[in-house]
Structure 1
Amino acid sequence: MSSDPPGYELPLLLLFGFRSLIDDLHAELARQGHPDARPMHGFVFQAIGHEGTTAVELGRALGISKQAAGKTIDTLERLGYVYRERDPQDGRRMTVRLTDRGVDSLVKSVRIFDQLRARWAKTLGAERLRALEDDLRKVTPPDAARLDMPGWITTS
């Protein structure tokens, strides 16, 4: 009889580790002035990037409908994280860009993730954490860093 845990535990442990990091990130973001930030917002901010994007492009990047992207943009605009402006090349097209508040949220997220990683290193040991990261890179496809996680999780 094998002493290995059942195979279904691996994806659950990876998911629970991810959830733990994201929950801790958002608790700290709330303390640092971003109480309305949600996990989906990080994907949106990354998809908007430095150049901005449209609702259609955002939906495509996130794997969600244009309508869902539009609602997300509306919410983030109301919260002060993004703004819309007419594209100077095509006046019919609206470009979504990050506000200073949106950029601040991203900058703080980077610092907080560094702190969370340091906490994991203290708990697991720096060498073991590096080995875990290296091993995950070995089993993760090179194109795994996609932003369509929200659509992947919610679509059938």
Structure 2
Amino acid sequence: MSSDPPGFELPLRLMLAFRTLIDELHAELARQGHPDIRPMHGFVMQAIGRDGTTAVELGRLLGVSKQAAGKTIDTLERIGYAERTTDPEDTRRKIVRLTPYGWDALNRSAQIFDTLRARWAAELGADRLRALEADLRKMTPANPWRLDTPGWFGNL
């Protein structure tokens, strides 16, 4: 009998690690003045990016319908993270941009993730964490920015 865990435990542990980090991130974001931001909003705000985007393009990037993207934009507008503006090159188009509050949330997220990583390094050992990260890079696609995760999970 093998002492290896069953194969299904690996994806569950990876997902649980992801969930643990995201839950800790959002608890800290709430403490730092962002209580309304939700995990899916991070994917959306990353997809909006520095230059902004349209609802159609956002839906494509996220792997969801234009309507689902539009609902999420509505939510982000309501809680102050995004705004719709008129495209200066085509007044019929609306561009979604992050507000300063949205940029603050993304910047704080990056800092919090660095803190969480440092805590993992302290707990596991820096060499073991670097080895884990190297192994995950070996086993996953080169580009870690898969913004279509919301569409893969279902809908926003």
Give the TM-score normalised by the residue count of structure 2: 0.97
Distance 2:26 2:128 in 1: 25
- Tell me the CA shift for residue 144 of structure 1: 4.5
Matched, 1:137 2:137: yes
Aligned residue pair count: 155
**Partner deviation per Cα, 1:24-78 (whole Å, 9 max, x = no partner):** 0000000000000100110011100000000000001011110010010001001
**TM-score normalised by structure 1 residue count:** 0.97
Please list every run of 5 or more consecutive structure 2 residues that lacks an aligned counterpart in the other structure: none
Instruction: After TM superposition, list the pairs within 5 Å mapping 1:5-154 onto structure 2.
Output: 5-154=5-154
**Alpha-carbon distance, 1:145 to partner:** 2.4
Query: Which runs of structure 1 show a deviation greater than 4 angstroms over 4 or more consecutive aligned residues?
Result: none
Decide which moves more: 26-35 or 117-126: 117-126
CA distance in 1, matches of 2:99, 2:143: 29
Deviations 1:105-148 (A, max 9, x none): 00000000000001111111111000000000000012452100
1:10 Cα offset (Å) = 0.2
| Most deviating of 139-148 and 26-35 | 139-148
Secondary structure of the residue aligned to 1:35 is: coil
* Structure 1 unmatched runs, 5+: none
Give secondary structure in 1 for the equivalent of 2:146.
coil
